Chains A and B, each alone.
Chain A
C-alpha cells in the first residue's frame, strides 16, 4: 500500500464548476497536510496547509481533513481554465520530509 494515494485522473470539470480532489494516507501519526499545484514543467506551488480536523478555506480553495478516516480533500470552487494542473497531496513524515501522492491531473474546460 502506498503511503499517500490519489486518483491520477484526469479529472475533467467545466469552467465554473466545483472540482473535488481526494487523498488518503496510511500513517495515523501524520500531523501536517499540504496541497501543492504543479503546472507542466514547473515546480510545485503551495496552495493550502491544514493541521486540524475540519475545513480550512482560502479564497476559492477549501481543504478538508478527517484524521479518523485518514482522508484529506481539496475543493476548488468556480474552477477556471488556469486551474488546470496536477494537484499533489503531501503528508509530513519526519523533519521537513514530505511524502507525496502521485498527483491528480485536473482539466478545466471552457
Chain B
C-alpha cells in the first residue's frame, strides 16, 4: 500500500506571498493531520480533518488554514508568509474515526521563506 504523499517536496517563497501544500493520505485513511517542524519549536500540531471537517486546531494564527476533499486529500494554505514560517510541514494520516489512532507521516514539504 502506498504511503502518505506530499507535494511539493521543496518550496521557496518570499515574504508576503501565499503558499498551498498538498497531502494525499494512505488509501482508506480518512483523517489527515498537519504539523510544523522547526529547530526552535520542534513538531507542533496545526490542525486535523476527518470527512472534510476540521475537528481539532492548534495554536497557530489565522494565516494558516486547511481543507479536506471528499477523497480525503488535504491541502493547507499559509497566507502572507513570514520568515518564521520557514519549516518542514508534515502531514500524517490515520484510518479510524477515534481520537487515539496511529498516525503515519508523509515525507514533508520543506518551505523556505526569503
A interface, CB within 8 angstroms of B: 31-32, 34, 36, 42-46, 49, 51, 88, 90, 92-103
Contacts and interface: CB of A to CB of B under 8 A. Distances in A.
A44 B106 CA distance: 8
B94 interface: yes
B100 A99 contact: no
Report which residue of A36, A42, A94 has the largest number of chain B beta carbons within 10 angstroms of its beta carbon.
Answer: A94
Main secondary structure of the interface of B (DSSP, over half): strand
B45 A99 contact: yes
B48 A97 contact: yes
A96 B90 contact: no
Contacts of A34: 102-103
Given A43-B107, A44-B90, A102-B42, A97 B33 contact: yes
